[in-house]
Amino acid sequence: MESTEVTFRRRLVSTLILWVLVLGTILSGYEQLFFITIAGIGLLGLWEYFEMLDRRGVPNFKLTALITAVVFLAGSFLTFRSYGPEKSYDFEIAVLVVFLLVVFGRQMFRQTRDQNPLETMAYTLFGLLYIVWLFNFLTKIVYLAPRGPSGETIGQYYVLYLLLVTKFSDMGAYLTGSVFGRHKLVPHISPHKSWEGLAGAVLFAVGGSFGLWYLIPDKLAVFGTGDLLVLGVLLGLAAVIGDLAESIVKRSADAKDSGGLLPGIGGVLDLIDSLLFTAPILFFYMRLVLGLPS
């Protein structure tokens, strides 16, 4: 059992390396590089999910889901980039319908043994929706935001905003909960989460929201002061819920971490769990409240 100090150092090193990678990808301006990074992270998270099921002995259609995820991510990127949200939605629904047909078809020719076939299909579909579909909203945000004066994409800065506010929420929950945490939030899911940590998550998220806008206001021009406050609160709350949601998944799979790829953090799914809930919140806020694209 390693000490808290060692764990913190490993987590810090992993976080710094990841931030260098993310910032380099975002600031490079290469859309394809951004997509490859997002898609690669999403596929790794999906792989970890199915690995947890395998260790638990839960039957699933891992290969079918991974192939579908590649088609889903690539097709959604191309259609959203070229034709906009409506065509992208049509493509995604078509892929999900075909996926359901394939899963049902595979189950028809598979011995059920003692396992409920509905459980096998439900776990497989859940992984695709929970990880790939939700995480894909990061790519959509890039093309939802208005382009720059020369036609270049600036949506990646809204993704940067999302990442920073989400991680500020995580940091606020951890620091505030560690120092002031007295009242348990949901001890049956996560014994270390507290109401004080939840308050810290929201406060840090609001601070991160205003802080990044202050540094690069021209890159986040669609946001007003009210938007920064509302999004800080919404994203802060969603980040905590996303973290708790993954805790439910890990408890169901009897796993402490989703993987061991990232020292001090765990797996890729442990890294992106909050983003799975904050990315759709930001996307739909920009789409429905701000009316983008206009």
Taking 80 as the threshold, does the pLDDT of residue 110 lie above it? no
Over residues 159-172, the pLDDT tens digits come to 999 999 999 998 89
Of 14, 20, 244, 281, give the one whose Cα is nearest residue 165.
Answer: 281
Token pair in block for residue 150 = 């020369």
Domain total of the chain: 1
Please write the tens of the pLDDT for every residue from 247-284: 999 988 888 878 777 766 778 898 899 999 999 999 99
The pTM assigned to this predicted structure is: 0.91
Mean pLDDT of 126-134: 96
Per-residue confidence at 4, pLDDT binned at 50, 70, 90? Answer: low
What is the C-alpha to C-alpha distance for residues 179 and 188, in angstroms, rounded to an integer?
21
Tens digits of residue pLDDT in 224-250: 999 999 999 999 999 999 999 999 999
- List C-alpha distances in Å: 45 to 69, 109, 113, 122: 11, 28, 29, 18
Decide if 99 is inside a domain: yes
What per-residue confidence (pLDDT) applies to 91? 95
Residue 226 lies in a domain: yes
Rounded mean pLDDT, 141-146:
87
> What are the tokens at 194?
């507290």
Residue with the bigger pLDDT between 11 and 220: it is 220
Question: For all residues of the chain together, what is the average pLDDT?
Answer: 87
- pLDDT above 90: residue 5: no
Where are the extended beta strands (E) located within 172-258? 184-186, 190-194
Q: From the CB of residue 216, how many other CB atoms can be counted at a distance below 10 Å?
A: 13
Q: Which of 270, 240, 234, 241 minimizes the C-alpha distance to 255? A: 270
d(CA 118, CA 120): 5
Would 294 be classed as within a structural domain? Answer: no
- Model confidence at 207, in pLDDT bands (50, 70, 90)? very high
Is residue 52 included in any domain, yes or no? yes
When pLDDT is averaged across residues 63-69 and rounded to a whole number, the result is 95
List the domain range (segments joined by +) for residue 125.
4-289
Q: 194 has which bridge partners?
A: 184
